[in-house]
Amino acid sequence: MARLIPAAERIVRARALIQQARDLPIPLESEGGRRNFSYIAGVKDLLRQARDLVKFISMTAGVSANMKEEVKKIYHEADQADREILR
């Protein structure tokens, strides 16, 4: 059976995934640079995983308003990282 991950740890892991997407090495220009499809797919996948980790936290009963605000920040950070990395 899958182990439940506490909400606080999910937020930490989501931020780590966003940072991992930022740290992904950009391919050489001869390989397409930022337009390299595998690079784009890797970045998008890491950001999707980050969003998926926190997706249901705000819908869970008993979650504090502070935690819900952190979830909104994660979504904002993921969107911002997407714009910064791929554009």
pLDDT at 32: 87
Mean pLDDT by 10 residues, the chain (87 residues): 86 98 92 90 97 94 92 97 93
pLDDT at 77: 97
Token pair in block for residue 63: 């979650």
Where exactly are the structural domains of the chain? 9-16+34-86
Cβ atoms < 10 Å from Cβ of 74: 22
Task: State the Cα–Cα distance between residues 32 and 29, nearest whole angstrom.
Answer: 5
pLDDT at 29: 84
pLDDT at 20: 98
pLDDT at 15: 98
Indicate the DSSP class of residue 68. H
Please give the distance of CA 26 from its chain centroid, rounded to a whole number: 18
Residue showing tokens 């997706």: 55
